[in-house]
A and B are shown apart, each in its own frame.
Chain A
Amino acid sequence: MPLDPNFLRYPMLRKGMDHDLYPAANMFEQPKVSWPEGKSVALMVTVAVEFFPLTPNDGPFRAAGHMATPFPDFRTFTARDYGNRIAIYRIMDALTAASIPATAFVSSALIDRTPKLLQDIQSAGWEIAAHGEDMNNIHYGDMPLDVEQRQIEACLAAWSDYGVTPKGWMSPGRGQSEDTLSLLKRAGIEWTADWGNDDMPYAMNDGPVAMPYTDEMEDRKCITILGQNEEVWSQQVTGAADLLAKEAQSHGGRILHLALTPYIIGQPFRIKFLRDLLTELAERDDLWCATASDIYASWQDQIA
């Protein structure tokens, strides 16, 4: 029996993308931007501050880091909680010591669950960006529109009640439905970190700006998924900084995104590598260390 004839039809075969979310682009042909004080590369450090409920969602996938064993997965639940009570303070100290600001993607459930941590994040001068209510609240294709809308509204209402207005958003597990972008835009979100297809920000047709998310250099992907050692991970980051600084000479300001996960890089045996990496980055004179929203605002001012 042959395949369904639709398999040999290509309805979206056309110039540009096979969807209408954003136009096709070549990063090297975009208008040049310059960062404050003539710096070549904006260093955008983000920290995932996630709450993983003990009972995981049933939906079509689970966010990376979620429960893995049959219920009750105490080992994963507590190992993730370790990130939010112990490991994150090591990261905070390391970033403060290097005078590098950060943007935290925070599950809004932590407003009630870990109030002191929320205060400490703000005292450290970190930006708070929205990251759903908790890691069960994934967005995925064909999910009911009203469910998704309520999910976004509940998260942003919790932040509003807390007195914070997040400009940025990362979906739990970075998944989106066909409607996520337009819903986020209408909810007032200015940028997202769900899209990993560029090293620079770009505008969506009907949605917040995509800030570059470099999953290839995430501590989670490198160390726990690919099994690289910490030295290899940090060498890749400094190698990227060198290449991006070189590109900036001819193409304008670049962005180096460094995604950190407390329960991974904040382990006692790993924190040294983060401290050393941040020290090395802080010593460079070509980096502008800024929050994601500050980088977004600088880019937006120059491009819009």
Chain B
Amino acid sequence: MKDPKIYGHWPYRDRPKVTWPGDKKLAFWVAPNIEYYELHPPKNPHRSPWARPNPDIVGYAYRDHGNRVGNWRLIEAMEKYNIPGTVSLSVAMCDHFPEMIDTVNELGWEFFSHGVYNTRYAYGMDRAQERQMLQYTIDRIKAQTGQQTRGYLAPALTHTIHTIELLAELGFTYSCDLFQDDQPQPLNVPGNPLVSMPYSLEVNDHYAFNVFGLSPQQYTDVLKRQFDTLLEEGGTSGTVMCIPIHAYLVGRSHRISPFEEILRYADEHKDDIWITKAGDIADHYLANHYDDARTHIAQFGGSDAA
């Protein structure tokens, strides 16, 4: 297979103008990953969950810090600037830490599915298994929070060739799994309309801290530059910026204060930006831009010619 053919080539230049509510230039959303990693995950034949044999208490405790400590610091910081989270949720958290899920649900945060555990990879699932897993997460989020799940980010970004079409089949409206764009765009799969929602690996705190070794302040500076560029470009046509984070990283005692700076920065720009949640961005896009975008994309041919 040369191309999964899930979206068409669509150059950034001269696209139909995207407008956001209130004529804001940038749709800004924050995605805390609230995750559960298992101490004794089953073996997936394609990827080992931990560097060491179970129980890998070093890796496990590193993530557990987010649920005991970091998330609570992060929730307080987000509340301080009145910025809602769109939670990338290991759905098992509904069982393991229901108080945390109920707390952020009451704050009006949105939840999207991030699989059951971040140690249950989709690699190797057949279509029926992946569909069953996805349906389970939809049902469990609904039961815990009353919310209808609209979005997906595969657990640990583990996909199958069926993932995207299953999302459309099951009524998801957005996928955070793809990294080709700074604007939403229609995905070319049968079923309900589905958009690709800009998330980001480049400004993901995992890459910032554990791959690039950035200091807390450097990460904030990276986020500000990302923000400034996308806000400027949003003057031409509305852009999206996501800050994808993990409380076990930004919620550490040496990082939470510098991280707060980017939340304050967003708050200071609230006349120009739409501080929102991913599901609302998808809804607005589907209602106002989706059809025009499909028509526009069609003229470029390329990989969209399924």
Contacts and interface: CB of A to CB of B under 8 A. Distances in A.
Band of interface residues on A = 35 or more
B52 A61 contact: yes
Contacts of B116: 10
Interface in A227-250: 227-228, 232, 235-237, 239-240, 242-244, 247
Contact of A175 (B52, B117, B120, B132): B52
Given A19-B39, A195-B61, A228 B96 contact: no
Nearest to B253: A240
A239 B218 CA distance: 14
Interface stretch (A24-32, A91-99, A150-158): A24-32
A241 to B, nearest CB: 8
A197 interface: yes
Nearest to A243: B253
Interface string A8-23: 1010111111110100
B190 interface: no
A176 interface: yes
A18 B254 contact: no
A199 interface: yes
A14 B68 contact: no
Interface in B27-47: 36, 38-40, 42, 44-45
Nearest to A174: B58
Contact of B92 (A13, A19, A21): A13
A28 B72 contact: yes
Nearest to B98: A15
B68 A242 contact: no
B253 A4 contact: no
A176 B42 CA distance: 19
A133 B120 CA distance: 36
A68 to B, nearest CB: 16
A53 interface: no
A174 B213 CA distance: 22
Contacts of A13: 92, 95-96
Given A198-B68, A199-B253, A215 B58 contact: yes
A15 B96 contact: yes
A141 interface: yes
Given A3-B125, A7-B44, A243 B257 contact: yes
A25 B51 CA distance: 26
Contacts of A3: 44-45, 124-126, 129
Contact of A7 (B54, B69, B97, B120): B120
B256 A15 contact: no
Contact of A14 (B51, B95, B218): B95
B99 A26 contact: yes
A17 B92 CA distance: 11
25 contacts: A2-B124, A4-B42, A7-B120, A7-B129, A14-B96, A16-B96, A17-B39, A24-B68, A24-B97, A26-B68, A140-B52, A142-B53, A174-B58, A175-B56, A177-B55, A178-B55, A196-B62, A198-B69, A214-B253, A226-B210, A227-B213, A228-B215, A239-B254, A243-B257, A247-B253
Given A15-B98, A61-B51, 8 more contacts: A2-B125, A4-B42, A18-B36, A197-B68, A197-B69, A198-B65, A228-B213, A236-B255
